[in-house]
Amino acid sequence: MGLFDVLRGKRELKQPASDRLFAMATAYVALEGSLGLKTTGSAAIVFQQLETSDFATLAKDMQELIGATTEEAGTQVETKADTFGYRWMILRDSDFEDLVTGINAISGELEVGGYGDRILAAVFPFEDETGRRVYWIYNYKRGAFYPFVPAGGEQQRDNERELRFKAQIGPELPLEPELERWFPLWDIPL
């Protein structure tokens, strides 16, 4: 972005970085072995939906395509809208690599359709040894993961555990270095 772009008020939106998403498939072993986290057999991608016929057609085609390609792998797909106006595409499968591949396929379809900038995040839920949820969130715009651990209260988070997970996972995942960008996602439908 040049000086004239700044003066004219133009800004370039960063495109999604979906290639780093596959680091989750290899980090899964460390998450399970070293950190004692177990997958819930689900994952989701959340994006801002538009009320246009073009986007509605793309969303319908995308769900059919994902359903057809994941059917042989046994992946189930469902869609939910949340109270903030975002759409969640939720995948359920016992094979973790199929979940990562499915999330990548959905993001790829959104990018090809010209809506890559509408992707908010991918969410991979895990449970610790006590059954508490731990979410690993992939921020597409930043191309990085971060942990999100809800605490017991209303919209409370366990920052100490999140920082501990950050230190323990080390180089296994590309982590978001700026902690203020570790945005919580409340009411995750997983």
Residue-wise pLDDT for 34-58, tens only, equals 899 999 999 999 998 877 888 778 7
Q: Once rounded to an integer, what is the mean pLDDT over residues 13-31?
A: 78
Hey, CA dihedral for 103, 108, 110, 116, is it positive or negative? positive
Decide if pLDDT at 124 tops 90: yes
Q: Which pLDDT belongs to residue 69?
A: 66
**What's the mean pLDDT in 6-15?**
55
Judged against a pLDDT cut of 70, whether residue 4 lies above it is answered with no
Determine the pLDDT at residue 20: 86
What's the confidence (pLDDT) of residue 74? 81
Q: Which long-range contacts (CB under 8 A, 24 or more apart) does 176-180 make?
A: 176/139, 176/142, 176/144, 176/145, 176/146, 177/144
**Distance between CA 46 and CA 163 in Å, rounded?**
24
- pLDDT tens column, 79-108: 898 888 899 999 999 999 999 988 998 898
Percent of the chain with pLDDT over 70: 87
DSSP of 39-71: E-SEEEEEEE---SHHHHHHHHHHHHHHHHHHH
Global pTM reads 0.86
User: Whole-angstrom Cα distance, residue 39 to residue 175?
Assistant: 19
132: number of Cβ within 10 Å: 14
Q: Which residue has the higher pLDDT, 119 or 9?
A: 119
Q: Per-residue pLDDT for 157 more than 90?
A: yes
